[in-house]
A and B are shown apart, each in its own frame.
Chain A
Amino acid sequence: MTQPHFPKSMEWFERASRVIPCGIYGHAAPAAMVPTEFPYYAARAEGCHYWDVDGREYLDFLCSYGPVILGHHHPEVEAAAERQSKLGDCLNHPAPVMVELCERLVDIVDFADWAVLGKNGSDMTTWAIQLAREFTGRKKILRARQSYHGSHPWCTPGHGGLIEEDRAHIHEFIWNDLDSVRDLVKKHRDDVAGLITTPFLHPPFGDSELPAPGFLQGVQEICRKEGIVFIVDDIRAGFRLDFGGSHKYFSFEPDVICFSKALGNGYPISAALGRKELRVAASRVFLTGSFWYGAVAMAASLACLQVMEREKTAAHVLRIGQLFMDGLKERAARHGLEVRVSGPPSLPFLKFTNETNLLRQQRFCSEMVQRGVFLHPHHNWFISGAMKETEVAQALKTADEAFGVVKAEFGS
């Protein structure tokens, strides 16, 4: 197949590069995908489809890196947002919808007695570790090696502009290794304020790793025993495993849970919820931002929660994801290719077994993109509620062709 061209994407990128460092920075940077073989700019989206600026249509298996859980432009969410927009968005005071949303969230999350709202995941993870420090009077924060908790200095995967002091009190344990947690707690006894973890590990470029039996429960036990605030960063996985939070899916109970992404079906909102004992400390940790009281995103979030609960979206995306992954494995095998599926089915990822250099992965995803199915080569994928069996069948048919190209080019 001849290489596709994305002339309009490239035109926009050329213009961007004159005035924007990186052209496109952050997670959407072309450098993170397969540059020149992937589109750079999106034009519009609907349901589980989107169109790039060159007019190409894609089945969306990335969902804007997670936020779009119900599908793009969901009518109920959009209607709620529009209604609130007519009333007002950025106002001198919070709108009543803020109270309604926090009440709803506290109702949904079993252990929570209070909720606060922000705009992005990093807002909440950073605030949560401050909360842990305020509550305990301690300094140290434990996190899993290769985990992702946002773009603030204490956790950014970037390298520029950091100083040693940014991470002087951040210490890393090994995922699924309770002994490494115990060792850190022992080493910093009475000085560990909080432990933050995602419900499963999703390192960039690598296989996702589910928690080993007893791991998160063991972490919970250590935290309770040592007076450490146990924070779950459910920003990526939230509402794609269980409507009540990923701790329910994996049967453990944290002290604080952070949501964002799927919480607003694309509208900018994040939340942190916690147990009663942390309420006073939470009141002492300052949080705000110019747009953090934005009422439109809150109204969208309330509608999104309503739809997710009614349509049992978590169960749906788990089922559809499983269908997709099973199909991919089966089609790869038809071509004599061995693939490895990792992560929960609603946030799946696939890699070629025994491949150490990502070349097959990049070729496979490029071929899928060229044929109208958007699969990221280095980041876990996301399933939305708009994705149905028909779209999965279409994606699998495309995968059949893409695996054929990989087989022809690499042999195995």
Chain B
Amino acid sequence: MNAAETQDEIAARLYLHAVLPAFEELARVSPRAQALIADWNCAVEFAVCGGAGAAVRFERGNVSVLPERCADAVISLFFLSSAQLVKQFEGKFSLPLPRRGIFRLASLYRFSRLGAILQEELEQHPRLLLGVALASLQPLIAHDREARELMRDCPEGLAEFCIPACKLFGWVEWRGGKIHWGRGHAPRPADVMVSFRGEQSALAALRGELDEWAAIGAGELKVRGLLPLAETLGLVMARADHYLERRTK
């Protein structure tokens, strides 16, 4: 396996397991997305040959994302390679094999529009960006060598991330070599709290556009407790940019 294939494989996993789940939150926060999917009852499966898979189910205005393949998906798109799936998610020309639902491929146009809405909303909603960032940790730690090396010396613990101005909370637990995460307050007092004073600084941080050390010094970003855990998780989250952003810049 060469380095380029590895890059594509990890990017594909991130699209499937970190970006795709953002559709769930998008359906909750975006009126445009809600209007688009209100009458849509359908499941779309994405599968890479010999690799990762995931599915999105639309049901009466709700969206749920399954982290694996879905046998009863009405539309099943089979990608011969991770690179092909990545192209699809980047909105570039890609021709997946429709294993099921060949006569319903017009629905994919609606899915593409939904993807465009997600792209726009991601720029404005820390809620969506935080979800993608937290969800990216597991695939990165499992498949990205640098992320694994970063976590090697990371202390175990529970981290809470919050943007009080948006009433937005999320948590990550690193224990026993595994990552667990969730939305809302941490299930118990966290070992480290990462709190953004304002929505704009949170957005900038999540987009990788914030001088974090300056923000911490100024009190815009407050970190208390197990600093090495917060710092390492932040560095791993930033690895997602390496796979998802470098292609479009």
Contacts and interface: CB of A to CB of B under 8 A. Distances in A.
B192 interface: yes
B95 interface: no
Interface in A96-152: 145-146
Contacts of B235: 159
Contacts of B156: 356
B187 interface: no
Nearest to B190: A357
Interface in A275-322: none
Contacts of A25: 213
A13 B224 contact: no
Nearest to A159: B235
A30 B225 contact: no
Contacts of B212: 31
Contact of B217 (A40, A145, A146, A362): A40
Given A357-B157, A357-B225, A362-B225, A23 B191 contact: no
Interface string A1-36: 000000000100110010001111100011100111
A14 B219 CA distance: 11
B218 A23 contact: yes
Contacts of A359: 191, 224-225
A24 B214 CA distance: 7
A357 B191 contact: yes
Nearest to A26: B213
Contacts of B155: 205, 356
B132 to A, nearest CB: 21
Given A30-B217, A31-B223, A35-B216, A356 B191 contact: yes
B211 interface: yes
Nearest to B153: A146
B179 interface: no
A247 interface: no
Interface string A145-175: 1100000000000010000000000000000
Interface string B136-179: 00000000000000100101110000000000000000000000
Interface residues of B, number: 23
B227 interface: yes
Contacts of A24: 213, 217
A378 interface: yes
A43 interface: no
Interface of A, helix, strand, loop or mixed by DSSP: loop
Given A357-B157, A357-B191, A357-B192, A22 B214 contact: yes
Contacts of A17: 211, 214, 217-218
Given A22-B213, A357-B157, A357-B192, A36 B227 contact: no
Given A146-B153, A356-B191, A358-B226, A30 B211 contact: no
Nearest to B216: A31
Interface in B178-197: 191-192
A21 B211 CA distance: 7
Contacts of B153: 145-146
Interface in A359-409: 359, 362, 378
B225 A35 contact: no
Interface string A236-258: 00000000000000000000000
Given A17-B217, A146-B153, A35 B222 contact: yes
B56 to A, nearest CB: 34
Contacts of A356: 155-157, 191, 226
B148 to A, nearest CB: 14
23 contacts: A13-B217, A21-B214, A22-B211, A23-B217, A29-B217, A31-B212, A31-B213, A34-B224, A35-B219, A35-B223, A40-B217, A159-B235, A204-B228, A205-B155, A205-B228, A356-B191, A356-B226, A357-B191, A357-B225, A359-B191, A359-B224, A359-B225, A362-B225
Interchain residue pairs A-B with the least CB separation, the first 5: A357-B191, A22-B213, A30-B217, A31-B216, A17-B214
Interface of B: 150, 153, 155-157, 191-192, 211-214, 216-219, 222-228, 235
Given A22-B211, A356-B156, A356-B157, 9 more contacts: A10-B218, A21-B214, A22-B213, A22-B217, A23-B218, A35-B222, A36-B219, A205-B155, A356-B226
